[in-house]
Amino acid sequence: MKRIVILGGGVAGTLTANYLVPKIRGEIRDGNVEVTLITDRPYQVYEPGFLYLIFNRLGEAELKRDIRELLDPAVNIVIDRATKIEAENNRVVTENGVYDYDYLVIATGARVVPEEIPGLKEGGHWFYNFEGAVRLREALAKFTGGKVVVSVMGVPHKCPVAPMEVSFILHDFLKRRNLRDKSEILYTYPINKIFTMDPVVEMIQPMFDERGIQYKTFFNPLEVDAKNKKIITLEGEEESYDLLIAIPPHRGAKVVEDSGLGDKGGWVPTDRYTLKVEGYENMYALGDATNLPVSKAGSVAHFQAEVVAENLAAEIEGIEPTAMFNGKAFCFIETGWEEATYIWFDYYTPPQPVMPSKFVHFVKMAYNKAYWLTARGLL
C-alpha cells in the first residue's frame, strides 16, 4: 500500500487531491494506494473574495465551503493541525496523531504576520485574512473622509496586484459615497516603482494619476505609531493617516518553519519545474508555500496542482514523471468598481495587460461565484 499525504486544504491541496484521485482511482479501489488530506480547519476560504467583502459586495457565507463538500469522496480527510513534518522518518505529526507517507505534498500556504511591524495590529487594518477583512469592512462603512494609506509592508505577499485593486475600488467607493473630495488615497510600495513588472506599471501608473491616487515608492514601514496615526519608515519618513490599509508581512506556515524545511521566510525550497522539494525525492510543494519566483496566487496553485497530480500518478504507476511547471499565472486586476483588466505570464513570457473593460470585471464577478466548481476540479 502506497500512502500519499497532502498537507493543507486550500486551493493547492484540494486541487491536487481532486486531480490526482481520478488518475489512480483503480489503485485506490484495489487498496494499493491511499490518499489522505490533512488540514487544520473544516472549511476552505475563497481569499480573493476578501476584496469584495470589505466593500460589502460579497457576504461571509459566500467565501467559505465545508472541505468535505469539495473533495473527491475517495480522499481520507483529517481535520487536525500538523505540528511537525519528520522528513527523515517519512511522517507527519499532528496534534492528535501520526501519519506515515510514501509521498508528501506540502500545500500549507502563507500566513500574515502583522505582529512583525510594531503598532500595526493596534493602528492598522488589512484584508489578507478573514478576521482582518471583516474588521476593515466595519472601518470602511464608518469612514467619513480623510487620508487612506494603502501600504505594502513586505514582499512576497499573496496576490501581488490586490493592493492596486483595493486602491482603485476604494476610489470609486468613496466617489459613490460622496466622500472622494474629502479624502486622499496614498499607495506605497517598498521598491523603486509601484509594482514589480514594468508592463503593469506602464498601464497602472497613468490610471492612478488620472484618478488622483497618490503613490510613494521606496517606502518600507518599520513601525506604526497607532496613537498619533503615523507610519515610520526605514527611509526615515513619517506618513500620517486616518485609515491605514496595510498589506502585512507574510511568512510560510509555522509547521514548515518548525520542521526546518523552510528558508528564512519560511518558504519551502522547491524545484521551479518539477515542484519537488529540493533534496527530497518523495516530497512536492506547491501554492503559496513555495519559495518560487512566481505570484502567490490561486491560479498558480491551480496550474501547479495539475503538474503535481500528473507526476504523482506517474510515480504510482511506476512511470518516470515528466510534467513540468512553466511558471504560468493568470490574474484579474480590478481597476474600479465595475471595470477590470487581466494579465497572464509565465517563466518565458512577460505580461501584456489589455485595456480595462466592464466585460472583464463581469467575468471576474462570475468567476467569484464559479470558484467552488474549480475547487472541485470541475472547471
**Which residue stretch of 1-9, 139-147, 259-267, 317-325 sits at the interface with ligand FAD (rule: CB under 6 A)?**
1-9
Determine if 294 is a binding residue for ligand FAD (CB under 6 A).
Answer: no
Residue list 110-129, contact with ligand FAD (CB under 6 A): 127-128
**Residue 288 interacts with ligand FAD (CB under 6 A)?**
yes
Among 29, 41, 176, 182, binds ligand FAD (CB under 6 A): 41
Nearer to ligand FAD, 11 or 71 (CB): 11
38 binds ligand FAD (CB under 6 A): yes
Per-residue binder mask for ligand FAD (CB under 6 A), 74-93, x = binder: -------xx-----------
* Residue range at the interface with ligand FAD (CB under 6 A); choices 9-17, 170-178, 211-219, 266-274: 9-17
Among 108, 188, 311, 374, binds ligand FAD (CB under 6 A): 108
Q: How far is the CB of 361 from ligand FAD (least distance, A)?
A: 12
The verdict on 40 binding ligand FAD (CB under 6 A) reads yes
Query: Does residue number 182 form part of the binding site for ligand FAD (CB under 6 A)?
Result: no
Determine which residue in the list 17, 18, 19, 50 makes contact with ligand FAD, applying CB under 6 A: 50
Q: Is 315 in the site for ligand FAD (CB under 6 A)?
A: no
Is residue 168 a contact point for ligand FAD (CB under 6 A)?
no
- Min dist CB 101 to ligand FAD, Å, is 14
The 3-class secondary structure across the chain, one letter per residue, is CEEEEEECCCHHHHHHHHHHHHHCHHHHHCCCEEEEEEECCCEEECHHHHHHHCCCCCCHHHHEEEHHHHCCCCCEEEECCEEEEEHHHCEEEECCCEEECCEEEECCCEEECHHHCCCHHHHCECCCCHHHHHHHHHHHHHCCCEEEEEEECCCCCECCCHHHHHHHHHHHHHHHCCCHHHEEEEEECCCCCCCCCHHHHHHHHHHHHHHCEEEECCCCEEEEECCCCEEEECCCCEEECCEEEEECCEEECHHHHHCCCCCCCCCECECCCCCEECCCCCEEECHHHECCCCCECHHHHHHHHHHHHHHHHHHHHCCCCCCCCCCCEEEEEECCCCCEEEEEECCCCCCCCCCCEHHHHHHHHHHHHHHHHHHCCCC
Where on the chain is the footprint of ligand FAD (CB under 6 A)?
7-13, 38-41, 47-48, 50-51, 81-82, 107-109, 127-128, 158-159, 162, 253, 255, 287-289, 296-299, 301, 331-332
